Chain A
Amino acid sequence: MEEQACIRLAREGDTEAFRALFEGHRERVFSLAYHYLKNQADAEDVMQETFIKAYHGLPGYKPDKGLNFSSWLNRICVNASIDALRKWRKKDIQSLENEEVSKLSAPSHSSNPETSARNREIREKVDQALNKLSPKQRMIFTMRHYQEYSIREIAEYMDATEGSIKKHLFRAVETLKRRLRRFVMEDGYGL
């Protein structure tokens, strides 16, 4: 079924039509939340919340206002992710950080234990640096760096000007550089 038809039906309460919309967009929404929150359970929660909010928001969604359905979903997801991170940070950050670090030890490229330990260490440092960013900066950085959305798209999802997105991105990268610079030097990483 064509997306516009699904939207029309879902708006009238047809949950099967909404399911089709969910199936078409779930990976992208989950991926955005996951790259941002870096935690599967939280990302799944945000993904579900995004679709629930979207369903209830559908009667007010107007594609003719220039925002297509997927951008509209991204907006809801961006907002929900930022909210989730805020709540999450309020909790005991330290204990969560440790938990995250162990969770992040995804299968590494190398089976060499030494390399794995080093990769883990890098991940840990990077995560600590990312945690120093404000939720908004982290979102902008995640979208541009890991999700490869353009600045123009990010500005659309965050309803901001491209100039302000550039400014935030610049600050985010500067913060990360400041935090990781020493590690890059010590480690003789590259160069």
Chain B
Amino acid sequence: MDCKTAKSLIILGLYGELDEGEKRDLEEHLRRCSACAAELAETKKVFSLLEENKPAVLPEVDWEKSWDKIRGGIDRRPAKNEQSIFPRWKWAFAGASLALVLGAGIFIGKYGFAPAPKPAIVSIPASSGPTSVQQAFAGYLEDVKPILLDYAHYTPGEKNGRRITVDENILRGLVFQNILLKRKLAEKDPVAAELLDDLDLVLKEITNRGTQDPQSPAGIKDLIVQRDVLFKLEIMKKL
């Protein structure tokens, strides 16, 4: 075992997270390596220092008052999420939302303008029940996820400056779906609405920045990380 591995096993060991084999290997290493033995002693001291910081008792909570607030939050319509934090937003989907209001069926194809082999229906029927909205929402998350992953895995300064390209029509379609889903879900599902707001922000940012600017993937990655979008998306899928 090298010292680097030993260092991480020391920490896991203090948390009781080692299996028997790892424990044996670490003990063996500590017998031979005085540097790591000193490391263990020091880590133990820092741990006891941290222990001092642990609140001995939890403060008293007025649970009745808390329940009243929760009760109020349950009854009240969830507060509208803060507006986009990107005011430099230059954005031209006004005409498109008009089409939406008119109830036009909008289709997006993952293959651009060519007759789409598997078109996804963007509009949600007005009479749709909760199940079909849930299904549409789940399908929507599936569609957005690969795009988010592409950006999230982007490493700045990548060799040959890998460029992430997303078909503009797909982006547009996803933004429309977002608007529709938010209308359907906002009232009864604030958690979903919050995620939709975040996704809306990211999608618009991608559209806004375009894929030509070499700085753009890093900026979009930051936004995804900052708002923990992938984490929320995973939670939503489990809900």
Contact = CB atoms under 8 A, between A and B. Distances in A.
A78 B192 CA distance: 17
A177 B124 CA distance: 54
B42 interface: yes
Given A15-B71, A146-B54, A26 B66 contact: yes
Size category of the A interface is 35 or more
A91 to B, nearest CB: 15
A131 interface: no
Contacts, number: 143
A173 B52 contact: no
Contacts of A83: 228
A157 B92 CA distance: 39
Interface stretch (B56-64, B150-158, B164-172): B56-64
Given A53-B190, A61-B239, A123 B42 contact: no
Contact of B42 (A107, A109, A181): A181
A183 B45 CA distance: 10
Given A34-B58, A159-B238, A126 B52 contact: yes
A166 B46 contact: no
Size category of the B interface is 35 or more
Contact of B69 (A30, A48, A56): A48
A171 to B, nearest CB: 10
B56 A106 contact: yes
Given A53-B190, A119-B52, A173-B11, A158 B231 contact: yes
9 contacts: A18-B74, A22-B67, A48-B69, A56-B191, A67-B238, A79-B228, A170-B12, A174-B11, A177-B43
What are the nearest 6 A-B pairs in CB distance?
Answer: A52-B73, A126-B53, A60-B239, A190-B45, A159-B234, A40-B59
Interface of B: 8, 11-12, 15, 17, 41-46, 48-50, 52-59, 61, 63, 66-67, 69-71, 73-74, 78, 130, 134, 188-192, 226, 228, 231-232, 234-235, 238-239
